[in-house]
Structure 1
Amino acid sequence: MDKIDPKLYRLPARTVLLKDDHDNFVLYIDRKSRIIMKDASVILEKAEKIRKTAPGVTIKLETTAPVCSKSTKFLSDNGIEIISKK
């Protein structure tokens, strides 16, 4: 996976954005605290900015943190797959 400059997609500079060979974008979050609904809404906003710039791409969330069940459902309903990395 290649690291992409998030500023190209009008995302904050601290966002870790990866892209694989098949035009799949991965938002990577490395932290210990749980991802809650407020975090999920921020993730969705970032995904919408990526989709606006590059329509038709697949966006995934890769994280080391646990994700609450409401956030998991919210993100999957909005087309964001969660990859748990432990």
Structure 2
Amino acid sequence: MRTGSEPSTARSPLRMRLWLSLWGMLWALFGLVAFVTAGRVGWATACGVLLVVTVTDLCVVVHRLRQGPHYQPGRDVPPYEPVRRRRPR
């Protein structure tokens, strides 16, 4: 439960992670293409792995952003009780 002692200006870093993931994805893709063209297999593999990591992070960030304000509360969301899951009987 939010106690009210959190900073009122605190924000989620998801949007920043979204843009950093896009930036990293573009550079990893550029590096992959450049190293494949130059015939540098080791560096191309490293860029390919980095590309997979950035795309995965991008997918996670987009998924969490689409969950909505309940999971990423903003200024207009009052403190709320946590969602209580029913225990199986």
Q: TM over 0.5, yes or no?
A: no
Q: Which protein is richer in helix relative to its size? A: 2
Higher alpha-carbon Rg: 2
Q: Which protein is richer in strand relative to its size? A: 1
- Which of 1 and 2 has higher RCO (CA within 8 Å, sep 6+)? 2
Normalising to structure 1: TM-score of the pair? 0.31
Normalising to structure 2: TM-score of the pair? 0.30
